Structure 1
Amino acid sequence: MRIMLDIGHPKDVNVFKNVILSLQEMGHTVKIFVRAKESTKRMLDDAGFEYEVCPYYKSMAGKAFGILANDLRLYMIARKFKPDVFVSPGSPYSAHVSSLMRKPHLAFSDTEIAGLVTMLTLPFTDKIYTSTSFYLDLGPKQERFKGYYELAYLHPKYFKPNKSVLDKYGLEEGYILLRLSALSSHHDLHASGFDFETEDELRDYISSLEKYGRVIISSEKLDWDTIKEYQLDLDPDDLHDIINYASICLSEGATMASEAAVLGIPSIYVSNTERGYLNELETEYDLVYNIPDRGEALEKTISFLQNKNTKDEWQSKKVVMLNHNIDVCNFIIDRIINIDKRGL
C-alpha cells in the first residue's frame, strides 16, 4: 500500500512515528508531506524520515493563502507518488487533494476548537477518527476510540524514560516545568494563557514557584531575558524525558499538558480554551487540572508541591488510565491497512 501522510505540528511527528515504522516494516510505502516548521523538520530528520516540504505560514492571512498554495504543492507530489490513501491529523490539504484524485482520506483529529480547519476538511474526508473524549459530534463520518493520541508515543510500550538526560542538562529530578506557548496556530485565534503583560510579572511568578524547587522553562517565545535565563537549549528528542522527571508541569499549551498527564506527572493547563481529552483526563482520571486563571493555577501548583504523596498518587492514577484505554498506535495502523475492508 502507498500511503500519503500529511503532517504539520511537532505532535503529529510523535503520533505517527511508530505508525510509520510499523507500516514500513510491514512492506508499505509512506510518503510524508510536512509544513516547513523548523522543529517539525528537525524531528523528522532525527527519526531518519524523508519528506516533502511545503511553506509554513504564521499569520492568519498567510494561512488562508497557503490553502491554495499547499493544495497545489501536495497535488503535484501526490500525482507522482500515486497514493492508495491519504492520512492526516485533519489537514485540509490532503482532504482536498484526495478528493481531486478520488482516493480516500482518513483524518485522526483531537482538536475541537480547530473549527475552520474542520469545516475545510470534513466535506472532503471519508473518515475522521476521534477519542471518545472528543466533545463534538461530527456526523456519520466520525468514529470514536477509547484512548488519547499521546498514547501512540507515550504508552510504556513505546516510551522508555532515559534518566541520563538529567546529567546532560545539569538537572536533578523534581524540577518545576513551565511551558509558554506562542498561541499562533489557527485554533489559537482567541486563546489566552498566562498572559504575562510584563517581564516583571513573569519573574514574580517564577519567584513564587522557586520556593518549592528549581524552575525551568520550555517556550516558543524568546522575547524576554527571563525566558532565555530559564530556558533549556533542549534537543526535541529529550523533551518527554524532561517532562517525565518534572515534579509538576504548568502549561498554556494543550499538548505538553496532556503529555505530562499521561506520563503520570501532575499537570495544570492554563488556558481559556478547552480540549475534550484534557477534560476527560481531569474528570475521569484526575491527572490534569484545567484552570484558566494563572493565580489560581499557582495556588493549585503550590498545594501539590507541598504534598509529599503527590508523585505516588499520580503514578497510581496513570496506571488506571492506561488500563482503561487501547493501543492507539495499533488502532491507527489497523484503520489504514484495512481500509478496503471498510468499504471506503
Structure 2
Amino acid sequence: MKIIFTIQHPAHVHLFRNAIQKLKEDGHQVHVYARNKDIAIDLLEAYDIDHTVLAGDADRLSKLALVQAKYELRLAWEAWRIKPDVIVAMGEPAVAHVAKLVGARSLIFTDTEIGTLQNKLAFPLADRIYTPECYQGDIGPKQVRYPGYHELAYLHPDRFTPDPSVVEELEIDPDEKFVVLRLVAWNAAHDVGHGGFSDPKEVVDKLEATGARVLITAENGIADELDSYKIDIPPEKIHHVLYYADLFVGESATMATESAVLGTPAIFVSSTRRGYTDELEDKYGMVFTYSDNDRHVRGIEKAIELLQQPSTDRWEQRRDTILDEKIDTTNLILEQSTT
C-alpha cells in the first residue's frame, strides 16, 4: 500500500514512528511530510525517518493561516503525485481535505478536546477519527474509541526499554531524589488565554527545599536564574529521564501522561484539562491535575506531599494496572492503516 503520514508537532513523531518503521519493513510505500515546528525535524532525523519538509513554523498566530495554506497546497501536490491509499495524521485538517481530492482514506488521531478550531476543520471530511475511550466528546459515527493513549504507541513496554545510562550522563546519584519540571511556551492555537504556573522560580525553590534535585525542560528560553537547572540532552532521550524520575511536575499534558504510563507520578498544572489526564487521575491515581485559579499553590503543595512520602511500589502497581487495561497504540495504527 501507499501510505502518507504527516507531522506537525514533535508529539506526532513519537505517535507514528514505530508504525512507520514497521510498515516499511513489511514492504509498504511510506511517505512522511512535516512542518518544521519546534524539535519535530530533529526527532525525525534522530529516528532516521526519511521525510520532506513542506512548511515552516508560524512564529505568531497571525501567520498561522498563511503557513497552513502553504502546507496544505504542497501536501496536495505530493499526494496527487503519489496517489496514496491512506493518509494518516494527528488532528490535521489538511489531511482530510487532501485525501478527498486524491481519493485516499483519511485517518485522523486525536486526544485533545480543546483543539476546537482544528477539530472543526478536520472532522467533517475525515473518513475515521480515532480517540481514546476517555475522550470527552461525541464526534459521531466516524469516531472509533480505543482503550489506550497516544503515549502507549511509543512507551508501551513492548516499544520502550529504559536506559539508566541517560540518567548517569546527567550525574544523578542513584539514591538521589529528582524531579522533572516542564515549562511550556503557551503559543499553540489552543493555548491562547491559558496558562500554568505563575512563578517558576518559586516552584524550583520549594521543590529543592524537600531535598530533591530539580531538572527543567522547557519549550522556550527560561529566566537566567533558572538556566542552571535546564537539562541539555537530545530530545529523544527525555523519556528515559522521566522513567527514572521520582516525580514529574509541569504544564504539559503529554509529558504528564508519558510519566504516568512509565510509572512516575505526575503533577499537571494548567488552566485546561484533558480527558486522558482526568482518567489517569480518577481511575488510576497517577496524575494530579490543578486547573483552577489556585493551581500554582495547590500544585506545589501536592508535589511537596508526594516527595515527602516514603518510597513504595504503589506507583509501579498502578502502572501495571494501566498496562493490563490499555493496548499498544502502535498496533492499532498498523491495523487501521492497512485495512
- Judge same fold: TM > 0.5, yes or no: yes
For normalisation by structure 2, the TM-score amounts to 0.95
Question: Secondary structure of the residue that 1:326 maps to in structure 2?
Answer: coil
1:3 corresponds to = 3
- The aligned counterpart of 1:234 is 233
Residues matched between the structures, number: 332
- 1:205 is matched with which residue? 203
Distance in 1 between residues matched to 2:38 and 2:218, nearest whole Å: 15
User: 1 CA distance for matches of 2:205 and 2:197?
Assistant: 15
Q: 1:273 corresponds to which letter in structure 2?
A: T
Kept in 1, the 8 Å contact 2:9–2:38? The answer is no
Provide the C-alpha distance between the structure 2 equivalents of 1:102 and 1:109, rounded to a whole number of angstroms.
22
- Match of 2:154, SS state, is helix
Partner of 2:94: 93
List per-residue Cα deviations over 1:177-205 (Å, max 9, x = no partner). 11000011111112211133xxxxx3232
Note the aligned Cα RMSD (angstroms). Answer: 1.2
Output aligned runs, 1:1-344, within 5 Å. Answer: 1-53=1-53, 54-173=55-174, 174-196=177-199, 202-212=200-210, 213-292=212-291, 293-309=295-311, 311-338=312-339
The Cα of 1:66 is off from its aligned counterpart by 2.2
Separation (CA, whole Å) in 2 of partners of 1:248 and 1:38: 25
Amino acid at match of 1:43: L
Q: Secondary structure at the match of 1:120?
A: helix
Q: In the alignment, is the contact (CA less than 8 A) between 1:251 and 1:269 conserved in 2?
A: yes
Please state whether the residue corresponding to 2:246 is helix, strand or coil.
Answer: strand
SS for the counterpart of 1:123 is coil
Partner deviation per Cα, 1:141-200 (whole Å, 9 max, x = no partner) = 10100111111100111110000012212223431111000011111112211133xxxx
Structure 1 counterpart SS, 2:34:
strand
Distance (whole Å) between structure 2 residues aligned to residue 100 and residue 186 of structure 1? 26
Per-residue deviation at 1:97?
A: 1.0
Residue 19 of structure 2 aligns to a residue in which SS? Answer: helix
2:290–2:298 contact (8 Å) kept in structure 1: yes
**Identical counterparts, % of pairs:** 37
Q: Secondary structure at the residue paired with 1:41?
A: helix
Stretches of structure 2 that go unaligned for 5 or more consecutive residues are none
Quick one: structure 1 residues 251 and 223, their matched pair in 2 at CA, closer, same or farther if it must change by over 3 Å?
A: closer
Which AA in structure 1 matches 2:301? E
The residue type equivalent to 2:47 in the other structure is A
Q: Is the 8 A contact 2:10 2:38 kept in 1?
A: no
Query: Following TM superposition, by how much is the alpha carbon of 1:132 offset from its aligned partner in structure 2, in angstroms?
Result: 0.4
SS in 1 for 2:193: coil
The SS at the match of 1:154 is coil
Query: Does the 8 Å CA contact 2:201/2:226 hold for their aligned counterparts?
Result: no
Hey, what's the Cα distance between the residues in 2 that align with 1:51 and 1:227? 35
Runs (4 or more) in structure 1 with deviation over 3 Å come to: none
1:15-74 Cα deviation digits (max 9, x unpaired): 111111111111111111111125110110011111111222132221122222111111
What amino acid maps onto 2:327 in structure 1?
I
What secondary structure, in the 3-state scheme, does the structure 1 residue paired with 2:33 have?
A: strand
Post-superposition shift, 1:227?
A: 3.1
**1: distance between equivalents of 2:283 and 2:162?**
25
Determine the C-alpha separation between the residues in 2 that align with 1:13 and 1:106.
16
How far the C-alpha of 1:304 sits from its partner, in A, is 0.6
1:57-100 deviation digits (Å, cap 9, x = unpaired): 13222112222211111112222222111110120111111111
On the 8 A contact 1:175/1:215 being kept in 2, the answer is yes
| Counterpart secondary structure, 2:313 | helix
The residue type paired with residue 179 of structure 2 is I
State the TM-score, normalizing by the size of structure 1.
Answer: 0.94
Q: Which amino acid aligns with 2:172?
A: L
